[in-house]
Structure 1
Amino acid sequence: MMHRTLFLMPLMLLAACASPLEDTAERARTALVGLDEAGLKRCLGEPVAMHREGGNDLWLYFRETSRSATAISDTGYTPTNRGSSTYDYFRYCEAAFTLQGGRVRAVDFTGRTSTGRQTLEPCGALVERCMAGK
């Protein structure tokens, strides 16, 4: 029993670190299933691309965000040797909505930072309006 608890503990800690926007994206994967085309356009606008595959419509959306961050480096032992630099980093989300019969049947997100780290924060920001009240 103790071994199992120790194994699950890191997973619980990771889940506790998820941001509210990542939680929104995760919930949207199921909460938006069944939404009709008009409702999807109301909350997300026009898709950047539309495809038809095997009787399904695929609507694609894209969102890119930018944030600034400051890094402080301790290159020396005195305050005058400390340095800081500000940089921008980008995050993006590609969202694919599969529609069948005019209703959402599946939602798929791919989100990354400019360094390649996976994140669903920009996806949560993308679907935030769709999730109001859900």
Structure 2
Amino acid sequence: MHTTITCTWRGPFGNDEVERLHAAGFGHPPADHDWRGQLERHSLGWVCARRPAGGALAGFCNVAWDGGGHAFLLDVVVERELRRAGIATALVATATEEARAAGCTWLHVDFEEHLRPFYLDACGFRPAPAGLIAL
């Protein structure tokens, strides 16, 4: 992992910085999204990756859950110029450890085919059959 980045479970963040990172990573214009409200209502937790001394947000992921044994990994994103430095892997590892510590027995993730090596090889997920309905 990039040695100057620190991953923090349920770390502090501003809505605007998560939205900027998310918009850049997922290719949409920034919006006025209430990340704090969404995460506090629906998430077990989240992981913030930051540059040194509480600096700029470099990466983020959300761990939603069903209130029981199933957690869901969402919104894994790293600043473009910091990708391929192990930050996303560290985000997922932290999310995995914390979901396990919270008593979850499963961590689910959906991903596009080009991310298969990352999730299956680098992060240790295994393939599982699933269903999807586009709404």
TM-score calculated relative to the size of structure 1: 0.30
The higher relative CO (CA closer than 8 Å, separation ≥ 6) is in 1
Looking at secondary structure, tell me which structure has more strand per residue.
1
Q: Is the radius of gyration larger for structure 1 or structure 2?
A: 1
